[in-house]
Amino acid sequence: MSNKKEWPLWEVFIRGKQGLNHKHVGSLRASDYKMAVDNARDVYTRRSEGVSIWVVESSNLYASDPDEAASFFEPADSKIYRHPTFYDVPDDISHM
Amino acid sequence: MNNKLFEYTLRIADDSLILGQRLSELCGHGPILEEDIALTNISLDLIGQATNLLEYAASIENKQRDADKLAFLRVDKEYKNSLLVEQPNGDFGSTIVRQFLFDSFRRPFFEALASSTDESLAAIAKKSLKETKYHLKHSSEWVIRLGDGTSESHQRVQKSIDVLWRYHSDLFYEDEVDLALVSENIAPSFKEIKKEFNQHVLAVLEEATLKLPDNNWEFTGGRKGMHSEHLGHLLAEMQYMQRAYPNMEW
């Protein structure tokens, strides 16, 4: 980017309907949280995608380090006993 | 009475149609991506309102002119929109001030029209009111941001108010058409609406550190089909396809 001052970046989370979680849908630029909510409404809910909006300034998010992915996530791969797959599910229980 | 109801419905429809067309010119040209989408959304809301209103107008007229024919095949003098909505987009501040003055009028207007004894107009007003409330929030916040922003944005948006304020009285133009419908409780009287308009405009301008211009030069005529030169250029573009390829559809 040039040295032109840009508005901060915001991450947008939308709740699809009552009872569901807010989900990350994308990001946008806005000068403050009010404008961010309005812009999110205009950009991400045009097709009735949601009933509630959260915005978080991207600079307030902290992420895991991709270089640490191996030590972070791979140890879980070998712990199959953490999945509840050792139970016999009776035949007449559906949706499991 | 049907002639008057047709005329009245056309005035409301044309405000939405012409402002919708104006805003659509900005599609792909907004100052930032997010605002580009916001203005286009508003444009589509207005064109949707115009569709409902013109369909109703066509049914009142009952002369085998449908909504499309009313939208695309009239000459400029037959359009009854207010002078404000046909004014060019200008810079972003000017687009926003035009929108702000219009939305400030439209919110109390639709609120009042929602209790019209004419069921179709009441239903359209109720539906449009939800959209209009958001438009007003959007344009009011921008007036405040620009007015109370940098000295450059303040000076430019103040200039837009000085220029566009002269067209606001055309929104409240009242003649025998309105008066006849007011007496039937079909149309709301403009008295209360103007009061609410003034209150909202003044409150927002104060917060935005802006003011109304000193001179009270006023233009009217749009409701009678007497337009500024800008409308003809707008119509040329809007009507081109139907004029060049009559009855084309896609």
CB neighbours of residue B140 within 10 Å: 22
Mean pLDDT by 10 residues, chain B (250 residues): 93 98 96 94 97 98 94 97 98 98 98 98 98 97 96 98 97 96 96 97 98 89 97 97 90
- Identify all chain B residues contacting A35, using CB atoms and an 8 Å cutoff: 141, 145
> Do A43 and B141 lie within an 8 Å CB cutoff?
no
Facing B34 at nearest CB: one of A28, A34, A46: A28
**Section A43-72 average pLDDT:** 94
Q: How many whole angstroms separate alpha carbon A38 and alpha carbon B35?
A: 10
Of A30, A34, A46, which is closest to B34 when you measure between CB atoms? A30
Contact A46 B138 (CB under 8 A): no
- Quick one: pLDDT at residue A89? 84
Number of domains within chain B: 1
pLDDT (0 to 100) of residue A79: 86
| B250 domain-assigned | no
State yes or no: pLDDT of A96 exceeds 70: no
Look up the domain containing A39 and give its range.
Answer: 9-82
Is B113 domain-assigned?
A: yes
**Any domain includes A30:** yes
pLDDT score of B90 = 96
List chain B residues with CB under 8 Å of A27: none
Cβ–Cβ < 8 Å for B80, B64: no
Size of interface A-B (CB pairs under 8 A): 28
Q: Is residue A95 part of a domain?
A: no
Q: Residue B59 has what pLDDT?
A: 97
B110 lies in some domain: yes
In a domain, residue A22? The reply is yes
Q: Report which of A24, A14, A13 is spatially closest to residue A48, judged by C-alpha positions.
A: A14
Q: Is the ipTM of this complex over 0.90?
A: no
Q: What pLDDT, on a 0 to 100 scale, did the predictor assign at position A5?
A: 81
- Tally the domains of chain A: 1
- Rounded to an integer, what distance in angstroms lies between the CA atom of residue B228 and that of residue B221? 9
A89 found inside a domain: no
**Residue A23 domain-assigned (yes or no):** yes
CATH value at residue A14? 3.10.20.520
Q: Do B145 and A39 touch (CB under 8 A)?
A: no
Q: How confident is the model at residue A87 (pLDDT cuts 50, 70, 90)?
A: confident
CATH of the domain at B134: 1.20.1260.10
In a domain, A94, yes or no: no
pLDDT at site B226: 97
Asked if B38 and A39 come within 8 Å (Cβ–Cβ), the reply is: yes
Does residue B249 belong to any structural domain of this protein?
no
Instruction: Identify the residue among B34, B133, B140 best suited for mutation to test binding to A, counting A beta carbons within 10 A and taking the highest.
Output: B34
| pLDDT score, position A1 | 46
What pLDDT digit, counting tens, does each position of A2-57 carry? 556 889 999 999 999 988 999 999 999 999 999 999 999 999 999 999 999 999 99
- Confirm whether A24 is domain-assigned: yes
Tell me which residue range forms the domain holding B85: 2-244
- SS3 state of residue A86: coil
